[in-house]
Structure 1
Amino acid sequence: MKTIELSEPFDSQLIPAEKVVLATGFFDGVHRGHQQVIKTAARQAKKLGCKLAVMTLDRHPMIVFQHVPTKQVHYLTTLKHKLELFQQLGADYVYVIKLAGALPQMPPQEFVDKYMVGLHATAVVAGEDYTYGKHTIANMRTLPKFARGRFQVITVKHVLFEQEKISSTTIRQLLDTGQIDLANRLLGYHYQNTGLVVHGKQLGRQLGFPTLNLKIDSQERVLGEGIYATKVWLDGKDYLGMASIGRNETFGDDQQLTIEINLLNFSKMVYGQQVIVNWYHYLRGQVKFVSAQALIEQLKNDQQQTLNYFQK
């Protein structure tokens, strides 16, 4: 897969000459609805004997159009992870478009001419709510008018779960409230974060449950507070773990939020290493215990529940 970054005005020499079927959208989360768009494009590409291209943006549109500060936007997928998911779905090319400069104010016809026809699209595939400008005039219903017969327009209907549209907004709400099991069903894979192992207060070690203390990039979305069953990719291997997202209230009030993971059957020092956490299952909410011993007993139970979850 080749990734091509474009900013306005882009050099047409960067664009491969061959025809493509183009799947387009922001695709935050690359959830089951997004996957359906890309799979539809892949089938059409195979039918036409074309390459599959995916077009996305380098930042969330709300940063530009709703003036939401960048630091307040927390993505379901980093660009790196998004590209990995695109590759798994068979993309030959990915166009990452810089949403800056003249692009946000570009008229729909110019956008279609440059970023669809100009990418040699023989067909453009997107979800039914995709827009490429003001939503009332630059939507999938009006795209055939702007296409002017130069490419086929394929609109993919929303993928539903229990009669509701699968959306990035819904998944964000589920993650914020700890509903990781359902969020994973809508995503079609296990939600993940990438974290750097940093020094903590070593409270877990004192209790007999040493933990990896993780620093997650501020632009990644972190789950709501609670205890979770996880798998952690470290040193080329997956380890089972029970994770705590919380404030260690047993040891005092008003403490900083931490992400700590006790790996089962693992005791190495790995400070400074980067790990990938795959979130599998919500075990329980956070509790302020009356004593350290009461917490230890609960941690033993959490550990057993984690083992039980993965064994079944």
Structure 2
Amino acid sequence: MQVIKIHHPYDPELIPEGPVVLAMGFFDGIHRGHQAVIKTARKIADEKGVPLAVLTYDHRPEIVYQQYPAGGVHYLTPLPRKLDLLEQLGVDRVYLVNLTSALSALDPQKFVDQYLVGFHTKVAVAGYDHTYGADASLANMAHLKDFAKGRFEVVTVDKMTLQDNHKVGSTRIRQLLDLGDVQSANVLLGYFYQTSGVIVHGFARGRTLGFPTANVAWPEAEWIPAIGVYVVQLKIGDCWYDGMASVGRNVTFGEHNEKTLEINLFNFNQMIYGENVQVRWIKRLRGEVKFASVDDLIAQMRLDQHHSKLTLQNLKALPGQILQ
């Protein structure tokens, strides 16, 4: 998959010749709704015998349009993960556009002329709620045919909802992760949620308790599920290992501790400090508890391990899952 970085105003020489089908969106999470947009575009591209290109952005629009949030900007799929998922979906080319104030100041007609026409778009595909400028009342899919002026076709993909009538969307997925409901988030994503990190030294308490842990320092911009105990898998190198994770502040051992991510891997005995890893979030078992004694904590961890192993033994792919 070819990735072309675009900064406004861009050099037309960067754009390969020949028509494309262009899917548009920020695509944070590459959830089932996003997948529907890209699969629709892929089908059209195959029918027309042209490449499938994606126009997406390097950071969330809030950075340009709103005050920077006090807690920082977080992502369901940081850029490397997003590009990996786009490649899994069969995208041929990604136009990775640097979203800046100068770009956002373009009126919708100029944006369409310079970007969609400039990228040699034959068919533009996006979700029903996609916008492409600061004025969402104009820069939306309802007006895109007018701005296209017959130079390319426009295909709008409808809203996707599940049985509970909730829209499949990035906002809903973030809310579910904040509640610790990774199972429901995974259903909306269409794959098991993943985060990244590096293995670092911790306090080695787990080893003294009989449950040695891999301590994962995660990138600040990644969306970590709520405090609690989870069934997880950890990817080290090319291999996935079963385990259970604690996101918490180790309240049994004192107050005001920093939040940590500690993973106990089953049947594992390797030195892995400094390894870059991926965490696959399967299921939340419980919230964090302050135990009256270390023995009570150990007893609960044994139960957590038992339930985690049962969950992983019965683990199946999500219905319709196509992404890893």
For the residues of structure 1 that align with 2:110 and 2:92, how far apart are their CA atoms?
25
Cα distance in 2 for residues equivalent to 1:261 and 1:42: 38
Q: Tell me, which stretches of 5 or more residues in structure 2 are unaligned?
A: 315-324
- Aligned mates of 2:280, 2:114 — CA distance in 1: 38
Aligned to 1:32: 32
Q: Which amino acid aligns with 2:159?
A: H
Q: Does the residue aligned with 1:185 lie in a helix, a strand or coil?
A: helix
**CA distance in structure 2 between the partners assigned to 1:109 and 1:70 by the alignment:** 34
> Which stretches of structure 1, 4 residues or longer, exceed 3 Å deviation after superposition?
none
How far, CA to CA, are the matches of 2:129 and 2:70 in structure 1?
24
- Where does residue 308 of structure 1 map in the other structure? 310
User: Partner of 2:91 in structure 1?
Assistant: 91
Q: Which amino acid aligns with 2:151?
A: R
- The Cα offsets for residues 243-298 of structure 1, whole Å up to 9 and x where unpaired, read as 00001011111111000000001121211111100001111111111111111111
Distance 1:164 1:305 in 2: 29
1:282 is paired with a residue whose SS is strand
TM-score relative to the length of structure 2:
0.95
Per-residue deviation, residues 24-69 of structure 1 (Å, max 9, x unmatched): 0000000000000000000110111111001100110011001224
Overall identity of the aligned pairs, in %: 49
Between the aligned partners of 1:254 and 1:132, the Cα distance in structure 2 is 44
Which letter maps to 1:211? Answer: T
| Structure 2 partner of 1:47 | 47
Deviation at 1:193, TM superposition (A): 0.6
Alignment partners' CA distance in 2, 1:67 and 1:79: 22
Aligned to 1:282: 284
Which residue does 2:161 correspond to in 1? 160
CA distance in 2, matches of 1:192, 1:157: 27
Q: For 1:143-180, what per-residue CA distance to the aligned partner results, in whole angstroms no more than 9, with x for missing partners?
A: 00100000000000011112221110000000011000
Q: Hey, what does 1:148 align to over in structure 2? A: 149
Q: Paired residue for 2:182?
A: 180
Shift of 1:228: 0.4
SS at match of 1:81: helix
Secondary structure of 1:278 counterpart: strand
Distance 1:45 1:126 in 2: 14
Aligned residues: 312
Matched with 2:73 is 73
Q: Is the 8 A contact 1:226 1:246 kept in 2?
A: yes
Matched, 1:254 2:256: yes
Superposition pairs for residues 260-279 of structure 1, below 5 Å? 260-279=262-281
Deviation at 1:235, TM superposition (A): 2.7
Equivalent residue number for residue 135 of structure 1:
136
- Does the CA contact (< 8 Å) of 1:210 and 1:267 recur in 2? no
Whether the 8 Å contact between 2:161 and 2:168 is mirrored in structure 1 is yes
Aligned equivalents of 1:148, 1:12: Cα separation in 2: 21
Deviates more, 1:233-242 or 1:64-73: 64-73
Does the aligned pair in 1 maintain the 2:19–2:50 contact within 8 Å?
yes
Q: Deviations over 1:58-111 (max 9, x none)?
A: 110011001224961110001000000000110000010001151011111111
Q: Which residue of 2 aligns with 1:3?
A: 3
- Which deviates further from its counterpart, 264-273 or 21-30? 264-273
Match of 1:224 in 2: 226
Deviations 1:218-245 (A, max 9, x none): 0001100010001111132110010000
TM-score, structure 1 length as denominator? 0.98
1:18 and 2:24 equivalent? no
Distance in 1 of aligned mates of 2:69 and 2:108 = 26
Match of 1:211 in 2: 213
Distance in 1, matches of 2:79 and 2:71, equals 16
Report if aligned partners of 2:195, 2:224 keep a CA contact under 8 Å in 1. Answer: yes
Superposed CA RMSD in Å reads 1.0
2:322 — aligned with what? none
TM-fit CA distance, 1:12: 0.8
